[in-house]
Structure 1
Amino acid sequence: MLLYSADKNINFFQVTDQCNPVELQLKHDIKFSKLTSEFTIAANPLVYKSQNNNYKLISRNFFVELINKYWSETVFLSKSNSLSDTYINKLKSDGLSIASQEYKSFLYGFSKALINDRIHVISNFLENGKNKNDFTYIKYVWKKGFNFSWPENNSYLLSLLKDKNFSNNRHSALTKYLAINKLPIFTIVNSFNQIILSESSNEILVNKNLLDRIYNIYSQYFLENKSNQIKYQSLFFVNPHDAHEYKEDINYKYNIFKLNSNLNIFTTRLDIYYYLMKMKMKNINFRLIPDLKEVGQLVSEYQYYKHIKIHNNQYCIKNAFQGQPIYFIESILAKNKKSGKIELIKYIYLNHNNLSRSKYTAVFMNYKTALLAWRKFRQQMFQYDLPIKPNLTVYNLESFIKKYDDNSNMNFNNILFVPSIESYFYLKNTVSSDENRKLIDKFITRYSYLQIFAKRIIWSLTSRQPINW
């Protein structure tokens, strides 16, 4: 529970007995006279318990008030207990309100400071926030003004300097191998083929003054990149149908700009996404959204099949799966119908389009695609007594790539990513429709800038709501 008084002088909340002090520092302080006690009181307490067991309110000095207002303030959050109830009742008895406009202003400033990452936990909740009377609290420090934190070792600027000292050959090689695979993924772009980024609500809803903007610039380059500092996010999809739903959701929520949005599904490759991930782009986060339908079927149905095994390092429970599922067809012992011998059969993909007829280890993005590939393999290997369904191992794409990225001794040359059937048919239909629209798109592109400019002018003249230029 966060306690606060509307009176401009209240600052501390402290209950003192003979052996156990607990204090709650607040924003203001209240003046109280005729205070008598034989206890030694900490600096500037707000409430203390005298010998006659009466709680008293006292004031803080001007210097402490100045520091709390312009430099630093400590806030204790605790659950409601007898001490907080006593404090609230004491405020009410002295004619003070904890639901005033000033209290709301304090909460607004406190929330704004949380969003701007200017409030930090400095005590452990379990170890330091509990005393023998079982009063629990969390201690926060609210830094104000130009009281900035010291630069951190894992800041953005230092990470750039470190990258210059280390070779990126491994990343470049992995990107090259991913480019050879040409695994399609999908994102949303506008009419200029610019990737659509979602903006954090913190950037939209919070009004920032000059000091807030200075601190944001400082934190971006000299402090660790926190999750609440991510301003923009771009989504890439494994399944084109998920990308289509995302596009429709954008059009539905922001139908005000539907006339000039002209959003499209853009097909790119996994290596492009990986390249963007490795770039040092401050405040932009790139996310790969797995095939949601595939994840749902895997969690609810596939994982219980006897011929499917979950990888040892894969997080998978009854209602959750980490990452984009990938399937490997495991080697199997099978009987040769001609010789009668038991042989180890390893599934490999033979690239007939390659002159060298290279052999690859297939990585399937979809369970049904793996079954179709196995069916064709059984037809080719008719001399062996192979089961109808293969033994499959399930892992996730992100961890699989990271495994190769971290280990320079592993070879990525013989890996082939096989997209889902949905992706194949989507690409097939898209290519045929794009050929028919090629001339029309060229004509529209020439005048799209002028169209959007004219529509925005009309919107600004006919609507009270300002348009986002």
Structure 2
Amino acid sequence: MFNSYYKDFISFSNKAFNTDIYNNFKCKSNYSLISKLIVKNNILSKSNNLIEANDNSNNILIYRSLWQKLINKYLQETVYFSINNSESKIYFNKLKSYDLSIYKVNDYKKFLAKFNKSLINGEVLVSVNNINIHKNNLFINNKQLYFKYIWKKKFYCYLSLLKSLVTNQYALQQLFNRQIMNNLYNSCPLFTIMNNDNKLIMADSGKKILHSKYLFHLLYKRYIKHILLSYDYNNIYMGLFFINPEDAQEYQFYIKSKHLYSSRSNYLKPLIGSLHFYYNLINKRFYNMEFRLIPDLKEVSVLVNKYQYYNNISFNKDQQYGKNFFKGQPIYIIESNLVHHKYLKEKKQLNFFYYDKYSNKKYKSIFLNYTTALIAWNQFRNQYSDYKLPKNPIIKVYNLEDFLSNKNKEIYKENTMIIPSFNTYKFINNNMSTIANNSMNQLLKDKIIYTQSLFKRIIWSLTSRQPIKL
């Protein structure tokens, strides 16, 4: 690559460099690896004019501190390229007269040799393909060219490499976390109601917008108040998403009962979505619209009145619950067990997991239904029949919303899958054929098909007598 470098500098190489350096370049041209693309980052602003420095008697010459010497030696050093002329000699001699010369005679030769070697090895990255573009980095006085360059040392390069590795590692970790969350969101189906125009049914909550912290919302509110006079700008409209499809059906029947004489209510139909779709709507921040996740009401009722008194069930320390209430959608996590082998005198820590042979991955299972968790545990016991596993699993109860929050960093440590109830699977399987090919459903079609296929594999593995490793 020296040829291209030589072409860049041929117009002023005899002036910008002394004879020894130039001759050395010419002899070792085949080994030069000078980049032509990094000039903008590596060349700093132009230096002070040497002639002005010589003429100005008020200039203050200062010594380099120990800290500056260390920086010059290990991190970076400022190198000035100038024409070999009388002004530069006068300035250099003035430094020597004050005993401020950076390099003595022998040290200066060593400096030139080291700089020459670094330049040939490609450690000095500079090019001036277009002087007009980089005219702020060069200046000419009386047809004499002056040039300032920051020479990055090896230690600086190591620090830059370390920074790049850390940045790339962080980017990879963020990508991995997003993939885990996407898989988790897509494994949980949600249900809502839409009309014949493929629009979500929004309920009027009856609340009034008293204020808004978003300036856009305030301006938009005034616009619809004075321009769109017929628009009800005060009410908040609520979109409901259900964990249990039966609750969604009851909501659909309720809407029809409220609009018996409306032909539009006859065209209501269920929409099968996912947590991913739900959180996308939340992040859109629609004006005067809110979206709520309705838990499985039947499951919450049984948990509060029955399950919470079981000996094998405990609650997360952050979970809010009581004798007659439970916050959020309950989830059931089967804890690990320290068990004995029936025939060998050994103990083993067994972690419950679901193995998907199609992706060849193990998934931590999060159950939305206690009965489904028991069925999965019995299947797990059959697989590890040589170990003395308890009849009922040790289960930790938490809520889905807080589990998925950003504060829960445990979720990123392993692949996790949300497993719904059997009724949810049956509902999806029965209603897949009734979903029309429309704009909204078409966007969800691939994910729903994936969810249906995933549920089939999970349900089959949990109900069959085959081991979980399909």
TM-score (norm 1): 0.49
Larger radius of gyration: 2
Whichever structure has more helix as a proportion of its residues is: 2
